Amino acid sequence: MGLFQRKECVLCGGKVGLLIRYKLVNGDYICGDCREKMPNYTKGIEDFTVDEVKDLISLKEENDRRFENEFVTSRRFDFDNKHPMMAVDDEHGEFAILKDKKPDIFKFDEILNFYVDLHTKLLSTEETKKTSAFMDVVKYMTSKDFGSRYPDLPRCGLGYKITGMYFQINLGKNPYHAEEIRLDMLPNWSNSTDQLEKAYRCANDMYQCIKEYKG
């Protein structure tokens, strides 16, 4: 009976369900609504105490206030109009991840390293025999012209196809926020040169921006 007993959120007192609930280090639970009040990029909630969660919520409130009133966007990088990625405040040396409704702000000096993680897969015998637009994409991605425009980014090897592309930022240790940010650079995945060009352009712009700060 106790297994299916509904529990209360330790913060707001609301009921937490079996599926949408978050267990804290001491066994207490918080609900989904309270979780959304915390920073988007947070370490595992199971490691936090109630007081630490309250601190995180306060930090997020201050973050949102600063983004609304103090963060000055000097540059921004988007995959397209529906998929914003990053905004940069050069005046304060900060950046914000825009894919979330209420973006988290980070300082460039928090970044330890950054790179594009390209996932590829060996073409099957059937795929290599195709003469369709699919093979045109493969040829385009492996061309010298394409590679020369994005020398800092990984390329797809001949005989392979791209199955995913992610921009990863590794951050310094912090008692609260996660140590990595991982952005999907192909949110509208389709097997087309247009989509891949957008992903590479946006990833390269972000890469060059961070490179300016990190040397």
**Domain range list for the chain:** 2-69, 77-214
pLDDT grade for 1, boundaries at 50, 70 and 90: very low
For residue range 161-207, list pLDDT tens digits in order: 889 999 999 998 777 778 899 999 999 877 788 899 999 999 999 99
pLDDT at 109 over 90: yes
* Mean pLDDT of the 74-81 span: 96
User: Quick one: pLDDT at residue 7?
Assistant: 83
- Average pLDDT of the chain is 88
User: Quick one: pLDDT at residue 101?
Assistant: 86
Strand order in the sheet with 180-184: 111-122, 160-171, 180-184
Report the C-alpha gap between 178 and 171 in whole angstroms.
8
Q: The whole model's pTM is what?
A: 0.86
